Homo-oligomer: A and B are copies of this chain.
């Protein structure tokens, strides 16, 4: 049998940038062909980016995507790459209702200047962040094509996470190789689950499996790549890097697979390494794909803004990060100095804009209760950041963590302002861990401290009144995060949480805080999802809601 040299191509498409994505796919095919690849496989919806959400209900969008696939076929043939089989993902029109497109989520096989096979996704995820049953129609047909005397089957992402459908027909059809196109977002520990899933598919369906995932940030999702090749015995032959572009090459012949690429794989079983890279990639791509060049954020001297500034520096370079210290009369000396030290350590821009005058004017012109007065301070800071954004085009980063967001411990239109929230899915206790981890990374390289030790060790405070600390208003963060995980992550109720040994009064207070903050969360910036239950489209609850169970 002729050999298949398979290229697992991890690309980072931009949603809606069809011509840009096609150019990138073409460039990658050309490069892969130079290394002898004759079967290049790209991720789910690699032509349009993923997820496209309601864009796919526009007839013109689906038509443009389908034309782009045909043009890519022609272009590959014209450039003497017609001998390669190239597998890409795009929507395809199933029907039109009232002028709106009803589309399949499709894998196209390009060969010899044309499209030789098409597979439509069967299982449409409609849980968590996914709305595919809203946006696509399922199909039920098993599809395989012959290439270099091998039988090659196609399936898409969710098809291998559910039972039944075309995946179940693979072994009956004596398939040599199954290509799985994926748009599988990162979650902590998902890489382990994926590998088991792919191995089970290989051994149960008696097929080698090439699993190709996208990488890159798209709004609140981060695709981590982590493509892999598993032979029919379940052995992992190759695994791609996480959070970066990659091309993994595998030679495949009569069931025997050997790694054909030598590459220094960027992947780590270290969960904190993964989270940091997910946040950094998510931020970088939000900035770049939306045409920003720089970010601005408030540096309070606290741990949250320090971690966000460090992530931003890793993501887009210190020269593009603008930190602003905005001390009030309640700001401690250590706040100001910790912010300055952080900026010095990072090498980012730093400016101090005291808010005292502005606060005084509001206080003299308006009657303000204690709460209103605290919020005024936070909102003046928000206005300053937004003004800097207006002045210089920076993207404003908001620095709230998941714990704050959960219990509403933030000022809406104040510290919550911004277009992107890098740590919105990071609970407070994890923020500390990330800070320590990142400092350790520096230490391991013989570099100096990045995040000031004092920002890590001091008691957290919003500093909106004298001697305030977070624990005046909230339970100790270790306990709080545990309760939040049970209530939000596990969707347990009051009785179930209390039966875990927590103080009923504390549990009731936490649940009430979470429920009452729903309106604020709805108005919050998006940020990268890294858990199985992030705020946003992952957790859809009414604002008007009297359920207390």
Which residues of A come within 8 Å of B, CB atoms? 14-18, 20, 51-55, 57-61, 64, 99-100, 126-127, 131, 133-134, 217-219, 285-286, 289-290, 353, 357-358, 360-362, 364-369, 371-372, 375-376, 379-380, 382-384, 386-387, 390-391, 412-413, 417, 419, 490-493, 495-496, 519, 522-526, 539-549
Contact = CB atoms under 8 A, between A and B. Distances in A.
A67 B417 CA distance: 43
Contacts of A54: 491, 539-541
20 contacts: A14-B546, A15-B544, A16-B547, A17-B546, A53-B541, A53-B542, A54-B491, A60-B496, A126-B126, A131-B134, A285-B544, A289-B546, A358-B361, A367-B391, A371-B390, A372-B390, A379-B379, A379-B413, A519-B525, A523-B523
A387 B358 contact: no
Contacts of A523: 523-525
A285 B545 CA distance: 12
Given A15-B545, A18-B547, A544-B290, A362 B383 contact: yes
Name, among A367, A379, A543, A547, the residue most crowded by chain B CB atoms within 10 Å (CB to CB): A547
A386 B379 contact: yes
Contacts of A131: 131, 134, 540
A544 B366 contact: no
Nearest to A285: B544
Nearest to A18: B547
A369 B390 contact: yes
A495 B58 CA distance: 13
A366 B384 contact: yes
Given A15-B542, A133-B133, A525-B523, A357 B368 contact: no
A244 to B, nearest CB: 19
A490 B100 CA distance: 8
B491 A100 contact: yes
A61 B371 CA distance: 34
A55 B368 contact: no
Nearest to A546: B17
Nearest to A543: B219
Nearest to A369: B391
B365 A358 contact: yes
Contacts of A286: 544
B357 A365 contact: yes
A213 to B, nearest CB: 18
A58 B488 CA distance: 10
Contacts of A417: 412-413
B379 A366 contact: no
A16 B290 CA distance: 39
B379 A383 contact: yes
Contacts of A382: 379, 413
Contacts of A496: 60
Given A353-B365, A382-B413, A491-B100, A542 B387 contact: no
A499 to B, nearest CB: 12
A364 B286 CA distance: 33
A522 B57 CA distance: 20
A423 B15 CA distance: 31
A542 B372 contact: no
A368 B353 CA distance: 13
Contacts of A491: 54, 57-58, 99-100
B544 A219 contact: yes
A372 to B, nearest CB: 4
A365 B522 CA distance: 32
A545 B495 CA distance: 44
B14 A55 contact: no
Given A413-B386, A544-B15, A549 B490 contact: no
A372 B358 contact: no
Contacts of A490: 99
Nearest to A375: B390
A20 B546 contact: yes
Contact of A376 (B16, B383, B495): B383
